[in-house]
Amino acid sequence: MPPPHLRLAWALEAIPTDAVPESRAARTTMTDSTTTAAAAAAPTAPGECALALDRSHVFHSWSAQASLAPLAIAGAAGCEVWDFDGRRYLDFSSQLVNTNIGHAHPKVVAAIQEQAALLATVAPAHANLTRGEAARRILEKAGGAFEKVFFTNGGADANENAMRLARLVTGRDTILSHYRSYHGNTGAAVVATGDWRRAPNQYARGHVHFFGPFPYRSEFWSSSPEEESERALHHLERVVQAEGPSTIAAILVEGVPGTAGVLVPPPGYLAGLRAIADRYGILLIVDEVMSGFGRTGDWFSWQSPRINPEGVVPDLVTFAKGVNSGYVPVGGVLIPPAIAHAFDERVFPGGLTYSGPPLAAASIVASIDAMESEGIVANAARVGRYVLGPGLAALAERHPLIGEVRGLGVFWALDLVVDRATREPVPAATIGALKAELLARGLLPFTADNRIHVVPPCIVTDEEVERALAIYDEAFAAVEAG
Ligand SMILES: Cc1ncc(COP(=O)(O)O)c(C=O)c1O
């Protein structure tokens, strides 16, 4: 196979003159002696071209476009990515917390290649063997309470359709969800979202928010996780009563609120949600888009003995990301028999061109099979308990910037503070400085608000964790030294 810079030759030719600094334009239009000098300054290196094309033609998510300086990633394998200069980074972001099986897993890559050659796509109306196999495997991992899968393009439309199902079967409108949450960037999902991304996008109706438990930054003046859980549940029940229980279709929560800060639910919270939902005839939707498929050391976070020792089961579950590590975009909703059969005679008013296309389905089958046979979910649990969790706790002992370490599996957050006593969050500049120090030392971090989320792939080895911990240690020391 040719080296990356040769494979990119077509891309260099395709760059329009207005996409690059003026020297490139000059090369094609000028004929005098300045041409050679100008051409020498044109971005011909693949990394520079990637950046030039990106800055000229790619419109980025959730960003003011002018100030972006994205890292151009050329390739990846396992827990590492590399840029066009061959500089390697430990990927402790798992991109958007989705490459649970690591980058370029050979079995998943081969399954995608084989399926692409056989049948890449079919209309959703057709039966397809690979899609059926994917659904069967996902349902097996969910443990018997669910009968069918409705496949979507990703996590947002999985939530969109779960909310639609809940509204249709209950005949009610309102969806309750946490303020500290992210559920995706489509009509209802972004309004179910509680964080800042909801505010400019509130076009959907029928959404009400409430505060979930967060012992470190409690809204409830609690002094223990148990008390936090109890008081958060009391608050929710009062919201249900104030809104009118007969108007509420569903309570939608992330299994572990992820982007909001890896807020592992305290004891009794999930069981308490289940009880409130049952008391008022409300459906409980658990969004496992980020928390599912190994991230917490379980197939689904609601199966975690720590989160759900009572063993309660949600009514609907949404998934995406880790189901195939994002090699092909896909998501879906797990539907129990009672809800699935409500649409035996009645038309389900929803659908997508890409509803479990074979290419995505093949990547799911290969991914789940590899995660199973290689013990990848168990690895995430073990690493979290014995290596990453203790390592981050030791890091916090050395660095006063770290106010709290919380998480499980390969799903952790470092909540950074100016002062441990007041718990005042660090300013954005501190996060920016840390990010730069981490990148300079070869670690690709995930940052959100005042936090570093430590979220490597579930395949991460002890040695990679030790290497990353040393990098975090040095980076914190550098920032603390000012
Ligand atoms: C919990 C949760 N739900 C839903 C989504 C949206 O998924 P997608 O971006 O695939 O639409 C995300 C994405 O980060 C998420 O973390």
Q: Which ligand 1 atom is the nearest neighbour of the CA of 259?
A: 16
Question: 366 and 389: one domain?
Answer: no
- What is the residue range of 13's domain? 4-52
Question: 347 and 388: one domain?
Answer: no
* pLDDT score of 18 more than 90: no
Q: How far apart are CA 98 and CA 324, in angstroms?
A: 8
334: in domain: yes
- Does ligand 1 come within 6 angstroms of the Cβ of 290? yes
What are the backbone angles phi and psi of residue 426, rounded to the nearest 5°?
Answer: -70, 155
Residues with Cβ within 8 Å of 8's Cβ and at least 6 positions away in sequence, in order, are: 46, 49
Question: 435 and 290: one domain?
Answer: no
pTM as predicted:
0.93
Q: How far apart are CA 97 and CA 105, in angstroms?
A: 16
Q: How far apart are CA 308 and CA 408, in angstroms?
A: 14
Question: 388 and 341: one domain?
Answer: no
Q: Which ligand 1 atom is the nearest neighbour of the CA of 331?
A: 10
Per-residue pLDDT tens over the stretch 339-389: 999 999 999 999 999 999 999 999 999 999 999 999 999 999 999 999 999
Q: What is the pLDDT of residue 482?
A: 86
- Does ligand 1 come within 6 angstroms of the Cβ of 195? no
Q: What is the pLDDT of residue 355?
A: 98
The CATH code of the domain that includes 97 is: 3.90.1150.10
* CB 292, CB 141: distance < 8 Å: no
Question: Distance, CA 320 to ligand 1 centroid (Å)?
Answer: 7
Q: What is the pLDDT of residue 276?
A: 99
Give the residue whose CA is nearest to atom 8 of ligand 1.
155
Q: What is the pLDDT of residue 431?
A: 98
227: in domain: yes
Query: In the listed set 327, 350, 373, which residue is the last one of a domain according to the structure?
Result: 373
78: in domain: no
* pLDDT score of 333 more than 90: yes
* pLDDT score of 124 more than 50: yes
Query: Count of domains in the chain?
Result: 3
Q: What is the pLDDT of residue 43?
A: 81
Q: What is the pLDDT of residue 86?
A: 96
Per-residue pLDDT tens over the stretch 42-69: 788 999 999 999 999 999 999 999 989 9
Question: 145 and 169: one domain?
Answer: yes
Question: Distance, CA 24 to ligand 1 centroid (Å)?
Answer: 39
Count the neighbouring beta carbons within 10 Å of the beta carbon of residue 301.
Answer: 30
Q: What is the pLDDT of residue 44?
A: 86
Q: What is the pLDDT of residue 1?
A: 38
Question: 365 and 443: one domain?
Answer: no
Q: What is the pLDDT of residue 41?
A: 64
Question: 365 and 427: one domain?
Answer: no
Question: 323 and 390: one domain?
Answer: no
For residue 326, give both structure tokens. 């994002």
- Please choose from 256, 259, 290, 317 the residue to mutate so as to test ligand 1's pocket, defined by most ligand atoms within 8 A of CB: 290
Per-residue pLDDT tens over the stretch 145-162: 999 999 999 999 999 999
Query: In the listed set 373, 396, 420, which residue is the last one of a domain according to the structure?
Result: 373
Per-residue pLDDT tens over the stretch 178-223: 999 999 999 999 999 999 999 999 999 999 999 999 999 999 999 9
Question: 12 and 155: one domain?
Answer: no
Give the residue whose CA is nearest to atom 16 of ligand 1.
290
Question: 300 and 172: one domain?
Answer: yes
218: in domain: yes
Question: 233 and 359: one domain?
Answer: yes
- Does ligand 1 come within 6 angstroms of the Cβ of 295? no
Considering the chain, what is the average pLDDT of its residues?
93
* CB 330, CB 363: distance < 8 Å: yes
248: in domain: yes
- Please choose from 94, 97, 182 the residue to mutate so as to test ligand 1's pocket, defined by most ligand atoms within 8 A of CB: 182
Question: Distance, CA 349 to ligand 1 centroid (Å)?
Answer: 23
The CATH code of the domain that includes 223 is: 3.40.640.10
Question: 302 and 157: one domain?
Answer: yes
- Does ligand 1 come within 6 angstroms of the Cβ of 258? yes
Q: What is the pLDDT of residue 2?
A: 38
Q: How far apart are CA 344 and CA 347, in angstroms?
A: 8
Q: What is the pLDDT of residue 17?
A: 40
Q: How far apart are CA 218 and CA 205, in angstroms?
A: 28
Residues with Cβ within 8 Å of 417's Cβ and at least 6 positions away in sequence, in order, are: 401, 402, 403, 423, 424, 425, 426, 450
463: in domain: yes
- Does ligand 1 come within 6 angstroms of the Cβ of 230? no
Per-residue pLDDT tens over the stretch 243-276: 999 999 999 999 999 999 999 999 999 999 999 9
